[in-house]
Amino acid sequence: MLEASPYSLEPYFVSAVSVDIVIFGFENKSLRVLLVQRGVEPFINDWALPGEMVQADENLDDAADRVLFELTSMNEVYLEQVASFGAPKRHPAGRAFTVAYYSLIGTSAHPVSPNGWAQRARYFDIEELPKLAFDHAKVLNTCLERLRERVRMRPIGFELLPRTFSLSDLQSLYESILGETLDKRNFRKKILSMGIVEATGELQSNVSHRPAKLYRFDESRYEALVEKGFSFTV
């Protein structure tokens, strides 16, 4: 809370606030996170979450959108605020808070343009993360847990797949997010009974095994289900 004089607020306007984003992608049957390598002190050369200071005229969600757009040139992406962090010593330059978001974007084909303080950027397998700058390991973990929670409650994550996909693709996605294996028949039954995917009629090609049917995500059906609330437990 904030008050006017005689309780002066002035001494409190000394903090910096940033947004940091855990950008999840999915490729090669594993969950990935986009990290950037710092090109400046502190933590120079360490990997870190993409993030920027919130600008004077910007609200938090807009700042998150901006960071995401500047890095990936993608817009209108699934983005959810998760938590804020503000340990007094988390940044050597002063009192710095950060608001963490996670986002889901299809990995395959977007350009990545690190800018500002970053020298490069790439996806890391969630199982093979490098040491991270600041408290970003904790931030990332918190966001991963939130993603898992979400996935258990509803079929999130179509954003991580190409426009058409096989049910096995979808299953590996869930398996790599949840970190456990699922029964194939039960998984299919569940997804198909929800009616949130529809067959395109196409098949995979050039695979050295029986080609899978391809599906697409039925967004309108999905929205309808979210409206009236459903539970999803694979």
Partner DNA sequence: TCAAAAGTGTTTCCAATACACCCATGG
Partner DNA sequence: CCATGGGTGTATTGGAAACACTTTTGA
* Site map 6..45 versus its own copies, x via CB under 8 A: xx-x--xxxxxxx-x-----------------x-xxx---
Residue from 88, 205, 206, 227 that binds its own copies (CB under 8 A)? 88
CA–CA dist 229, 227 (Å, integer): 5
202-231 binders of its own copies (CB under 8 A): 231
Q: Binds 109, which of its own copies, DNA, none (CB < 5 to 8 A, cut-off by type)?
A: none
Q: Measured from the CB of residue 11, what is the shortest distance to its own copies in angstroms?
A: 9
Strands 118-125 and 30-38: antiparallel
**Residue 126 to residues 107, 173, 179: CA-CA distances in angstroms?**
14, 12, 10
**Residue 117 contact, options DNA, its own copies, none, Cβ 5-8 Å cut-off depending on partner type:** its own copies
CA dist 84 → 61, 122, 143, 163 (Å): 13, 24, 11, 33
Q: Report d(CA 176, CA 182) in Å as an integer.
A: 10
Using rule CB under 8 A, residue 3 touches its own copies? yes
CB count, 10 Å around CB of 113? 11
Measured from the CB of residue 162, what is the shortest distance to its own copies in angstroms? 30
Residue type, 68: L
Both tokens assigned to 75:
């817009």
Distance CA 198, CA 212 (A): 14
Nearest-angstrom CA–CA distance, 56 and 58: 6
Residue 132 CA to residue 1 CA, distance in Å, equals 33
Residue 30 beta carbon to DNA: minimum distance, rounded to whole angstroms: 14
CB of 119 to DNA, least distance (A): 36
> To which residue do tokens 């999915």 refer?
26
DSSP string, 119-145: EEEEEEETTSPPPBSTTHHHHHHHHHH
213 contacts which partner out of its own copies, DNA, none, CB within 5 to 8 A by kind?
DNA
CB closer to its own copies, 15 vs 186: 15
x-or-dash string of contact with its own copies, 46-85, rule CB under 8 A: --xxxxxxx-xxxxx--------------------x-xxx
For DNA, the binding residues (CB under 7 A) are: 166-168, 183-186, 188-190, 203, 205-213, 231, 233-234
**Of the two residues 220 and 233, which places its CB atom closer to its own copies in the complex?**
233
Nearer to DNA, 110 or 150 (CB): 150
Choose from its own copies, DNA, none: what does 96 bind? Cβ within 5-8 Å by kind.
its own copies
Catalog residues that contact its own copies under the rule CB under 8 A: 1-7, 9, 12-18, 20, 38, 40-42, 48-54, 56-60, 81, 83-88, 91, 93-99, 116-117, 134, 231, 233
